[in-house]
A and B are shown apart, each in its own frame.
Chain A
Amino acid sequence: MIKRSLVGLLIAAAIGAYPGKVPSQKKGRIWRIALVPKALTGEYWVRCRKGAEDAARKLGVRLIFVGPSAETEVDRQIDVVESLLARGLDGLAISPCDASALVPTIEKVWAKKIPVVTVDSDARTDKKLAYIGTDNEKAGALAGQELARLIKGKGKVLIINGVPGAQNLMERIRGFRTVMKKHPGVHLLPEQACQSDQTLALNITENALTAHPDLKGIFGVNAPGAPGAAQAVVSAGKEGKVLIVGFDAIPDTLRFCADGVVQAIVEQRPYRMGYLSVEYLKKALEGGKVPKRVDTGVDIIGPDRARKMLALTLNNASE
């Protein structure tokens, strides 16, 4: 009860902060576009928000950024969208916490002739304009190719998943496994899950290194996996002997990559996701055409690039 009214209040505050007149003609109207992330905090969503805000500023769109506080709060996310609907909005970009649970809500929004795009994570419905995000299976396969190349196609490999059951992570692992199957010399150990907790990723890797002193490669499926694994590899003194490929260039991972402990980082583009979702919604509202599926792509970051990125962030911090 309290949670619900609090969400309502937050949204009221967010919308109230942008009181808008409602012009009649389509062109030149200031659109109210909401971006509902899986969670309000976390490096990733902060960057997504920045992209959306920059697009909103450039295109003259009113942006509302509201969502649940944790990625597991599926019911809160539904509440958020329903409250937004009650207050009125012109376009919705959403990253569903759950691929199926959000479908009725998204269809309800769609039925009111409000265009919807899914961002970062897709929903199992065709009642949407577009999906804008990483092609996770492709990205996972890319990580697999990197790791297979690094370990020269043979040896034991450990997969450290984030939260089991998340759609995008499952797709990455599927892509990764498909590539690994082509290398008969690779032995995949049973998958471990760090529950998106870097400490747990560290503990798991310490334990796995004890069980398998001949471990060759580690794949961190989401952000906390690679830095946790890297810390364990460093304290075991096995830098360069155990090779690590991870996802998302958070500061710790960049540091380990610059030091050569993590060999490659698959970097998604949340900023681009945020930017494009606002841009495409505006385009669609003004009668333009947008593609059904946009792969925002990934970058592979190696030690050299990591050193450059790290130097850049350090400069920014000291300014």
Chain B
Amino acid sequence: MFLRRSAKTRTTRRSGLFLTGLLRYLPQISSLLGLLAVCVGLSIGTRIKHGQERFLTGENLMLVLRQASFNAIMASGVSVVIITAGIDLSIGSVWALASCVTAHLCVKKGWAWTTATAGGLLVGIGTGLLNGAIITCLRLPPFVATLATMSGARGLAEVLTEGFQISGLPSEMKFWGQGQVGLVPIPVVIAIAVVAATLVLLSRTRTGRYLYAMGGNETTALLSGVPVRRVKLFAYSYCGLLASLAGLLSSARLGSARPSDALGYELDAIAASVIGGVSLMGGQGSVLGAALGAVLIGVLRNGMVLLDVSAHWQKVVIGIVIVLAVALDYFVWRRRR
């Protein structure tokens, strides 16, 4: 089925059927249009509310991008997993565990922050590998396997820190979360690099084609000679690595780590992917969409505060956006069948 689908897209491209070609990118285009609409709305809104532009200023846009960059990094990882028709619920906990391990090694054990950071990233890869192993060897559904590691990783972070916050990360490390390259915050630079790397991985490499093939139909992929197990192990460890990277950058930004960090952030990342048109059925979607989704969520959260909307409404609005996005996703998916 995967082969047929890709063959079909190739023909459409060649024949230049503009409309069908456009339909293929509909999720990304619609989230981009949605994003632009929200931005225009917020620009007008802040002008009315404050009597001057408070949203579309360079400074504020950099704030929004920095706030969204952590989620964009996580969403890139989880998109790769979702494209294989899997899911990773453990990423919020991996974020917390990796930050706590790094902070522990750095502050309590006196390791150099670079080595400690490497340790944190290894924790991310390790948890991802564990997820992959549970899924491929024990044949547990990804939802259950990652639900278990979600609980386990969070628990380990609590055990390690005894529930306490670990404060006092060195300023060299804090630079990675708080510093800037020119006017652009470093987490944003890293997020752009991660999205670009994931884009190349998904669209330009054999592994990328395997990932889509498995998500389209795992049995067919297996029969066509795709090393399903290995590719799955890779997908989950890549996702774990990016979750720990996001966690480390965030703790660098705060200068500290807590076992309660990133509680529920896995859902933010999944929401960003889904809003950006990554299909939960697998086999479809682009990391660009996921990144757009993360920015859209960030813009909504920023805008709500700019407009002095009380906190409770943020959740309602994000809920509505998810429904709209997923409804569109399913609409497109059905159309293509």
Residues in A with CB closer than 8 Å to B59 are 210
- Say if the beta carbon of A5 comes within 8 Å of chain B: no
Residue of chain B at shortest CB distance from A42: B163
- Say if the beta carbon of B209 comes within 8 Å of chain A: no
Contact among B70, B250, B256, B262 with A251 in the assembled complex (CB-CB below 8 Å): B256
Cα A210 to Cα B263 in complex, Å, equals: 26
**Shortest CB–CB separation between residue B126 and chain A, in angstroms?**
23
Segment from B164-172, B213-221, B273-281 that makes contact with A: B164-172
B63 touches A197 (CB 8 A): no
Q: Which of B9-64 contact A (CB under 8 A)?
A: 46, 49-50, 54, 57, 59-60, 63
Interface size class of A (residues with CB under 8 A): 20 to 34
User: 1/0 contact trace for B221-265 toward A, CB 8 Å?
Assistant: 000000000000000000000000000001001111011111100
**Shortest CB–CB separation between residue B164 and chain A, in angstroms?**
5
Residue of chain A at shortest CB distance from B55: A210
User: 1/0 contact trace for A273-304 toward B, CB 8 Å?
Assistant: 00000000000000000000000000000000
**Shortest CB–CB separation between residue A215 and chain B, in angstroms?**
12
Cα A202 to Cα B166 in complex, Å, equals: 17
- Say if the beta carbon of A193 comes within 8 Å of chain B: yes
Extra 11 A-B pairs, beta carbons < 8 Å, given A204-B311, A252-B255: A45-B163, A193-B312, A197-B260, A199-B262, A203-B301, A206-B67, A227-B254, A251-B165, A251-B166, A252-B254, A317-B108
A197 touches B263 (CB 8 A): yes
| Interchain Cβ contacts under 8 Å between A and B, 20 examples | A41-B158, A41-B162, A42-B163, A161-B311, A192-B311, A198-B258, A198-B261, A199-B253, A199-B254, A207-B302, A210-B54, A210-B63, A210-B302, A211-B50, A227-B254, A235-B178, A250-B167, A251-B167, A251-B256, A317-B107
- Say if the beta carbon of A191 comes within 8 Å of chain B: yes
Which residues of A pack against B, CB within 8 Å?
Answer: 40-43, 45-46, 161, 164, 189-193, 196-199, 202-204, 206-208, 210-211, 227-228, 231, 235, 250-252, 255, 317
Residue of chain A at shortest CB distance from B185: A235
Q: Which of B145-181 contact A (CB under 8 A)?
A: 158, 162-168, 178
Residues in B with CB closer than 8 Å to A43 are 163-165
B302 touches A41 (CB 8 A): no
A211 touches B308 (CB 8 A): yes
A202 touches B302 (CB 8 A): no
Q: Which 5 A-B pairs have the closest CB atoms?
A: A41-B163, A251-B167, A207-B305, A193-B311, A211-B306
Query: For chain A, what secondary structure do more than half of its interface residues adopt (helix, strand, loop), or is it mixed?
Result: helix
Residue of chain A at shortest CB distance from B258: A198
**Shortest CB–CB separation between residue A201 and chain B, in angstroms?**
10
Residue of chain A at shortest CB distance from B311: A193
**Shortest CB–CB separation between residue A173 and chain B, in angstroms?**
13
Q: Which of B44-98 contact A (CB under 8 A)?
A: 46, 49-50, 54, 57, 59-60, 63, 67, 70
Cα A40 to Cα B260 in complex, Å, equals: 12
B254 touches A202 (CB 8 A): yes
**Shortest CB–CB separation between residue A130 and chain B, in angstroms?**
26
Contact among A40, A45, A207, A231 with B63 in the assembled complex (CB-CB below 8 Å): A207
Cα A228 to Cα B259 in complex, Å, equals: 16
A252 touches B261 (CB 8 A): no
- Say if the beta carbon of B7 comes within 8 Å of chain A: no
Q: How many B residues have CB within 8 A of the partner chain?
A: 42
Residues in A with CB closer than 8 Å to B263 are 197
Cα A250 to Cα B165 in complex, Å, equals: 7
Cα A50 to Cα B67 in complex, Å, equals: 37
A252 touches B311 (CB 8 A): no
**Shortest CB–CB separation between residue A246 and chain B, in angstroms?**
14
**Shortest CB–CB separation between residue A279 and chain B, in angstroms?**
24
Contact among B168, B260, B308 with A190 in the assembled complex (CB-CB below 8 Å): B308
Residues in B with CB closer than 8 Å to A207 are 63, 301-302, 305-306
Residue of chain A at shortest CB distance from B158: A41
Residues in B with CB closer than 8 Å to A192 are 305, 310-311
Residues in B with CB closer than 8 Å to A203 are 67, 301-302
* A204-B305, A207-B306 known; A41+B256 contact, CB < 8 A: no
Residues in B with CB closer than 8 Å to A197 are 260-261, 263
B260 touches A196 (CB 8 A): yes
**In this complex, which of A41, A161, A204 has the most chain B Cβ atoms within 10 angstroms of its Cβ?**
A41
- Say if the beta carbon of B309 comes within 8 Å of chain A: yes
**In this complex, which of A40, A197, A207 has the most chain B Cβ atoms within 10 angstroms of its Cβ?**
A207
B163 touches A252 (CB 8 A): no
**Shortest CB–CB separation between residue B112 and chain A, in angstroms?**
17
Residues in B with CB closer than 8 Å to A255 are 167-168, 255
**Shortest CB–CB separation between residue A301 and chain B, in angstroms?**
16
Cα A197 to Cα B178 in complex, Å, equals: 18
B256 touches A252 (CB 8 A): yes
Residue of chain A at shortest CB distance from B108: A317
B163 touches A202 (CB 8 A): no
A41 touches B250 (CB 8 A): no
